[in-house]
């Protein structure tokens, strides 16, 4: 689903701390605490959400790391306390296992470089027994204007080396991609150089709203 509106200056949405009760069978059969029950379906089938990026302070604020930034936005929405990430040595990622809106989520931030993202994503899918269709990979997208968001199953990689690596490691392109638009580079700037630069001052001001819109897209899919 493509959100065509540009990032706009509005307060990022907040999640309510009030939860609607689950169906009684959910509570008794699944053993789900009422505290975990929010609007939406309750299921023990996990959804893996991976944010792509590069490691280290050098890359932390660059366009290429917007997928990792999104994971922080999602973690902040978990109630009653934000999710915290821990190193998952077997997959070389940082992972937070949570329930949100009745769905079990595995949030993961890659710790390796973008071009080798596939190995960790495959390792996560194997460890948590998650099929490709239940994987969402969040990434920067040059082909979308800054502020646009698109969530879809399958598709091309548009030259994105992180997606190429994930598709190769999973052996399929049939996983979900959450594309966060960063726009094309100005003039004749090399796209490879553009994605490794920090956001402009104006973009940085609008970035929280772009991340909020992207998190909204995920929440609508739960």
pLDDT in tens, 6-63: 555 554 444 444 333 344 333 333 333 333 344 344 457 799 999 999 999 999 999 9
Residue 140 lies in a domain: yes
Q: Indicate which CATH number applies to the domain containing 88.
A: 3.40.50.1470
Residue 182 lies in a domain: yes
Residue 91 lies in a domain: yes
| Residue whose token pair is 């290429």 | 64
Report angle CA 188, 4, 17 to the nearest 5 degrees: 125
pLDDT for residue 78: 87
Sign of the Cα torsion 193, 195, 197, 199 reads positive
Domain that holds residue 146: 18-221
* Mean of per-residue pLDDT scores for the chain: 85
d(CA 136, CA 175): 7
The two structure tokens encoding residue 128 = 């948590």
pLDDT for residue 80: 74
Residue 110 backbone phi and psi in degrees, to 5: -70, 150
More confident residue, 213 or 39: 213
Number of domains in the chain: 1
- pTM as predicted: 0.80
How many CA atoms within 13 Å lie on the side-chain side of 189?
A: 13
> Coil, strand or helix: which one is 124?
helix
Sheet containing 176-181: give its strands across. Answer: 2-3, 149-153, 176-181, 135-141, 43-51, 103-110, 93-100, 86-88
Residue 178 lies in a domain: yes
17 labelled ligand-binding: no
Residue 133 lies in a domain: yes
- Measured CA to CA in angstroms, residue 218 lies from 7, 28, 73 at distances of 17, 28, 11
Count other C-beta atoms under 10 Å from residue 213's C-beta: 22
Contacts of 85-90 with CB under 8 Å at 24 or more apart are 85/109, 87/111, 88/124, 88/127, 90/123, 90/127
Whether 158 is catalytic: no
175 labelled ligand-binding: no
- Among the listed residues 55, 3, 12, the one whose alpha carbon sits nearest the alpha carbon of residue 207: 12
Residue 12 lies in a domain: no
Residue 178 backbone phi and psi in degrees, to 5: -105, 105
d(CA 67, CA 176): 13
pLDDT for residue 29: 30
Residue 7 lies in a domain: no
pLDDT surpassing 60 at residue 93: yes
Residue 11 lies in a domain: no
The one catalytic residue in 64, 88, 100, 139 is 64
- Categorize the per-residue pLDDT at 222 as very low, low, confident or very high, splitting at 50, 70 and 90: confident
pLDDT for residue 9: 54
113 labelled ligand-binding: yes
d(CA 197, CA 195): 6
pLDDT tens-digit map of 174-188: 999 999 999 999 999
């Amino acid at each position: 689903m493509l959100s065509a509106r540009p990032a706009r200056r509005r307060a990022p949405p907040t999640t309510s701390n009030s939860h609607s009760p689950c169906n009684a069978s959910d509570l008794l059969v699944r053993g789900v605490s009422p505290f975990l029950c929010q609007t939406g379906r309750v299921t023990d089938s996990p959804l893996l959400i991976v944010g792509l990026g590069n490691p280290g302070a050098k890359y932390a604020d660059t366009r290429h790391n917007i997928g990792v930034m999104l994971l922080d936005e999602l973690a902040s929405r978990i109630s009653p306390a934000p999710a915290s990430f821990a190193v998952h040595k077997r997959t070389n990622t940082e992972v937070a296992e949570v329930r949100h809106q009745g769905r079990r989520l595995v949030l993961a931030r890659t710790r390796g470089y973008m071009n080798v993202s596939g190995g960790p994503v495959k390792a996560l899918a194997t460890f948590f027994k998650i099929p490709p269709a239940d994987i969402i990979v969040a990434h920067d997208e040059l082909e979308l204007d800054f502020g646009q968001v698109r969530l879809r199953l399958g598709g091309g990689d548009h030259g994105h080396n992180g997606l190429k690596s994930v598709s190769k490691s999973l052996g399929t392109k049939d996983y979900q991609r959450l594309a966060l638009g960063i726009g094309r580079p100005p003039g004749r700037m090399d796209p490879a150089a553009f994605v490794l630069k920090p956001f402009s001052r104006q973009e940085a001001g609008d970035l929280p709203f772009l991340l909020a819109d992207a998190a909204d897209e995920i929440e609508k899919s739960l």
